Structure 1
Amino acid sequence: MTALTIKNLNVWFGAHHDRVDAVRGANFEVQVGESFGLVGESGSGKSTILKAITGLAPTWSGDISVEGTPLSGAKRDRAFYKTVQMVFQDPYASLHPRHTVDQVLSETLQLHGFKDIDTRVVKLLDDVGLGGKFRFRYPHQISGGQRQRVAVARALAGEPDILLLDEPTSALDVSVQAEILNLLTDLRDEHKLTYLMVSHDLPVIGHMCDRLAVMKDGEIVEVMDSEDLRQGTAKHDYSRSLLAASAAA
């Protein structure tokens, strides 16, 4: 079964002479339970695809389907947010600075219509490896890695099937990145999640994803298995140049 289908997706910003075509003719599918990566340099259109899916980039054409349901325009209903959630790059910017962890999670659970809020907040914190001692802290009182764990817990609150991961570790210290990636791997197995993950970091994509699409200047130039990535057997010249640059870093 297909979790996410992207067909001939075009995304643009502005109009007429000011129009910028951020994504052009993108095509890929993500199967249920799969972890699929979008990789490429900054400005290649990776995050813009996530924004189009969530309605944050309203001007697009083509076809986007989530579990067989086609999307249109920028409006997303409650059923969409029960199915799809997003984890953003900067965990501090994505959390309200004046809301405690408890408020962040409780309000999200209420929006999803759950009643047993206290029990679910504790369970969410346990799921992401924090525990109850973090429940009444503010974002500035916890580390970057802990903030990202809260952001992941918030995304899991509605019990979604699909998580969109937009560079979820790039704003974190190197020492913490592996912890968050391992957490995401464990959560995928435990909750039977499907991931669409954006990163410019090839080793991260190779570690986290089953397949990936390589993007350059708004276009997908190659879709490959992660094993091809690990073996360095990319077919497109740009993909090979990315691999070479990553190996030399």
Structure 2
Amino acid sequence: MSHISIDNLSVWFDINEGRVDAVKNVSLRVNQGESFGLVGESGSGKSTILRAIVGLTPTWSGAMAVAGEELGRKRNRAFYKKVQMVFQDPYASLHPRQSVDQVLGETLKLHGAGDVDERIEKLLADVGLGPAFRFRYPHQLSGGQRQRVAIARALAPEPEILLLDEPTSALDVSVQAEILNLLSDLRHEHNLTYVMVSHDLAVVSHMCEKIAVMQLGEIVEVMTVEEMREMKPKHPYSRHLLESSLGYKRRTG
């Protein structure tokens, strides 16, 4: 059974000029323990799919299921114990007036966790931050440290699935690899399933086994990371993406 299954998902937004179709009849399957990438240019609908899964898009049609349970219009606490999301911007995703201790403590209490002090220390250790960071505020942290706190917050309910929306794109290049390696380690340690949105094919190649290529709200192709590395796409748009991505041009000579 697929850990995440999506069938004929369409998402639209009603604006003054009329309806905008952001996602059109998307279907995909993500197996348990798999890391699945969504790639495509800006505005292709990648992040909208993640937002639909977690209930942040009110207007959608189709069917979505997580761990065999059909998703309706609202998400309950049990859902958020199973599925968590890490957002793109660590500067915006943490409350500026809450310390790391408050951010993690409130999340743990919300999900009914006991031994909050021990759990906070364990979460900080899991993301590579020592106890010295526990009572710091976001303005006292670097971008990479903030994203580590955001990841710790996502891990607090002990989820099965993490949805990763460009988790390194707002970070300095020198920090991006550290966060990606951390996410890779956490996935194996906690047997997590990932769905990762990225415009960076090198990131997806490092993190994922399977990739869906999106164009104008539609999935035009699903391929393995091996097919991507070997430049074996079937769709012209997928080939265009690969060839225009630095480092993915076929070597000659």
Name the TM-score, length of structure 2 as normaliser.
0.96
Q: Indicate the residue corresponding to 1:155 in structure 2.
A: 154
Q: 1:108-127 residue pairs with structure 2 within 5 A? A: 108-127=107-126
Q: Deviations over 1:40-86 (max 9, x none)?
A: 0000000000011111111000010000101112x100110010000
- Structure 1 segments unaligned to the other structure (5+ residues): none
Aligned position for 1:26: 26
- The 3-state SS of whatever aligns with 1:198 is strand
Give, in whole Å, the separation in 2 of the partners of 1:58 and 1:51.
Answer: 10
The aligned counterpart of 2:57 is 57
Partner of 1:67: 67
Per the alignment, residue 181 of structure 2 pairs with 182
Q: Distance in 1 between matches of 2:149 and 2:18?
A: 38
Quote the residue 1:41 is aligned against. Answer: 41
Q: Per-residue CA shift, 1:79-134, capped at 9, x if unaligned?
A: 10010000000011000000000000000000010121000000000000001010
Q: Is structure 2 residue 76 aligned with structure 1 residue 77? A: yes
Could you tell me which runs of 5 or more consecutive residues in structure 2 were left unpaired when the two chains were aligned. Answer: 249-253
Distance 1:157 1:16 in 2: 40
Cα distance in 2 for partners of 1:150, 1:16 equals 38
Counterpart residue number, 1:13: 13
Deviating more after overlay: 16-25 vs 62-71: 16-25
| TM-score between the two structures when normalised by the length of structure 1 | 0.98
- State the SS of the aligned residue for 2:158: coil
Distance (Å, rounded) in 1 between the aligned partners of 2:48 and 2:197: 10
CA distance in 1, matches of 2:229, 2:247: 14
Distance 2:142 2:17 in 1: 44
Map 1:84-95 → 2, pairs under 5 A: 84-95=83-94
Q: 1:174 and 1:129 mapped to 2: Cα distance?
A: 18
Q: 1:247, CA displacement in angstroms?
A: 2.9
2:198 paired residue number? 199
- Of 239-248 and 15-24, more deviation after overlay is shown by 15-24
Distance 1:209 1:165 in 2: 12
SS at match of 1:205: helix
**Distance in 2, Cα, partners of 1:17 & 1:133:** 51
Distance of 2:132 and 2:246 partners within structure 1:
41
